[in-house]
Amino acid sequence: MKEVSPVLNKKLIDLINLQINKELESAYIYLDFTNYFTERGLNGFAHWYKVQAEEEIEHAEKFMAFLHDENDKVRLMAIDKAECPCTDDLEVLKSGLKNEMYITELINDLYGEAEKMNDYRTLRFLDWFINEQAEEEKNANELISRYELFAKDCSAGLYQLDKELGER
């Protein structure tokens, strides 16, 4: 393996490595949701979370590529067991939103750290994630609202929503 000399500050490298872990953990959580909905026979919801899981892996890959571009090392860590509250649809959707809010917090911490160090290259790179998190939280919130409005107490609404989510 080639010798690498770190370019980024050590604390930032650690935070980015942690972020890689959390993106992969998010993928794991969403795969857990995918399994829950598949087992419920809601294939549209299952598909929606499968796509979500794939996006999380892409996010991890973006961070890995960034570290490599900066000539720093990627350190993959153990991924925690997915703890899905998988007994109730709405609880699953809400815990998806909670996860996204947690990820936003981590990205903000990372951003704050890069700002302290006047690390403008990292800040530019993180801009994409700042926007992405806004989008992810919006999607998760909308999904909860639509479930509550149309599907919670109505099997025809649930059927329709499942169908729409299958088209993501």
Distance CA 113, CA 129 (A): 15
User: Would you count residue 47 as binding ligand OFO (CB under 6 A)?
Assistant: no
User: Would you count residue 59 as binding ligand OFO (CB under 6 A)?
Assistant: yes
User: Would you count residue 143 as binding ligand OFO (CB under 6 A)?
Assistant: no
Distance between start and end Cα atoms, the chain = 41
Contact 157/44 with Cβ under 8 angstroms?
A: no
Span interacting with ligand OFO, options 2-10, 36-44, 63-71, 98-106, rule CB under 6 A = 98-106
- For 168, other C-beta atoms within 10 Å of its C-beta total 12
Give the binding-site size for ligand OFO (rule: CB under 6 A). Answer: 9
Structural tokens at position 125:
């790179």
Tell me how far, at minimum, the Cβ of 82 lies from ligand OFO, in Å.
Answer: 13
Distance CA 84, CA 53 (A): 14
Residue 1 makes CB contacts below 8 A (sequence gap 6+) with none
Is 88 or 135 the residue whose CB approaches ligand OFO more closely? 135
Write the binding mask 117 to 136 for ligand OFO: x where contact by CB under 6 A, - elsewhere.
---------------x---x
User: Would you count residue 19 as binding ligand OFO (CB under 6 A)?
Assistant: no
Contact 13/68 with Cβ under 8 angstroms?
A: no
Is 8 or 52 the residue whose CB approaches ligand OFO more closely? 52
Is 56 or 113 the residue whose CB approaches ligand OFO more closely? 56
Structural tokens at position 61:
């890959």
Name the amino acid, one letter, at 92: V
Span interacting with ligand OFO, options 79-87, 96-104, 112-120, 142-150, rule CB under 6 A = 96-104
Residues that bind ligand OFO (CB under 6 A): 23, 26, 56, 59, 99-100, 103, 132, 136
